[in-house]
Copies of this chain bind each other. A is one copy, B any other.
Amino acid sequence: MAAVPNPPESPRRAPTIKDVAERAGLGFKTVSRVLNDEPNVRPETRDRVLAAVAELGYRRNSIASSIRRSDQRTSSIGLIVEDLANPFASSLTRVVQDYARERGHLVLVGSSDGDPGQEAELVGEFGTRRVDGMILVPNGPDQSYLEEERRRGTAVVFVDRPGRGIEADTVVSENAAGVAEAVRHLALAGHTRIAYLGDFESIYTSAERLQGFRDAMAAFGGADPRHIRTGLHDPEQAHRAAAELFALDPAPTALIAGNNLITVGAVHALQDLGIRDRTAFVAFDDLELADLLRPALTVVAQDTAALGEAAARHLFERLADPAAPYRRTRVPVRFEVRSSGAIPAPGH
């Protein structure tokens, strides 16, 4: 830590349109007209204004602007995810921000940590800032409080999971189909004793993925109930659950992990047990180095870019037409075949 002795220059008041008007020798309303590209300004007058703007380094105060504007729009939107540091969330953030910026909007972000209280608090903060709309990954049993926001004219879009107790534009992944494809892939390699590790069933995506697993397994005689473990919310729990699964008799010969945190725990468990090379494995959610693991991880990859873009698109379309019927979009997943899913069942 080093200290540099320079104190900053004295801060001065930012110039306003009135300063610009005075400098240009015009009424301040004329300046406003130029800045908003309104018609009926002489080109010469316009140039004088722009020159004064440049000389003073004037920059519009869009805070003041949006309080006066008739539509009360702030050209900003809010995005609430569970954890900004999570790759799924950050990829979403990136896409949403790009989409918004192309349309002149900025994005406020926040992590809910899966806590409905924090979610509601963030929604409140965003509302206070009068965002034009919000995109959220909803948490908890009830998002009906968002009706209040909508009545104020704020657009609301859910992504990854539908909100509860409220109808709204929603974008989700094809969770069940993705897991079903994983099951069929494993079955092709001769597996019938396929185990599944999932998060809390109360989470929409977890429930959908589990349902996809059960349904697909039905075609192969159904899943062994002991081979299904849910309620795993971090890598450590997944690690333990996986270890327990392989202590069973008969033990599963293949494993599906319901999300990326579970994948991390499960692969660690297989590693500890020394059965990484002979246990077939498919993970939900892609991971940065998945193709460099040995065996390379076969995954059900979510199309986070499409998810984020669809959510942003829904938001802006909602802003354009508040009366349109709500839409629910399902985004296909991509089944990424590498090698871990092709490990054959013993004797196959």
Contact = CB atoms under 8 A, between A and B. Distances in A.
A320 interface: no
A131 B330 CA distance: 37
A308 to B, nearest CB: 10
Interface in A261-313: 264, 267-268, 271, 287-290, 292-294
B97 A106 contact: no
A3 interface: yes
A83 interface: yes
Interface residues of A, number: 78
Interface string A133-162: 000000000000001101111000000000
A107 interface: yes
Contacts of A25: none
A325 interface: yes
Given A2-B328, A7-B323, A63 B57 contact: no
A147 B9 contact: yes
A90 B97 contact: no
Contacts of A6: 167, 325-326
A7 B167 CA distance: 10
Contact of A110 (B97, B268, B322, B328): B97
Nearest to A127: B59
A76 B325 contact: no
A37 to B, nearest CB: 16
A12 interface: yes
B98 A125 contact: no
The 8 closest A-B CB pairs, nearest first, are: A90-B90, A85-B94, A84-B94, A11-B153, A4-B326, A289-B289, A62-B128, A3-B325
Given A85-B95, A107-B110, A108-B109, 8 more contacts: A1-B327, A2-B327, A76-B129, A93-B93, A93-B109, A107-B108, A268-B292, A288-B289
Interface of A: 1-9, 11-12, 14, 57, 59-64, 66-67, 74, 76, 83-87, 89-91, 93-95, 97-98, 101, 106-111, 124-130, 147-148, 150-153, 167, 260, 264, 267-268, 271, 287-290, 292-294, 322-330
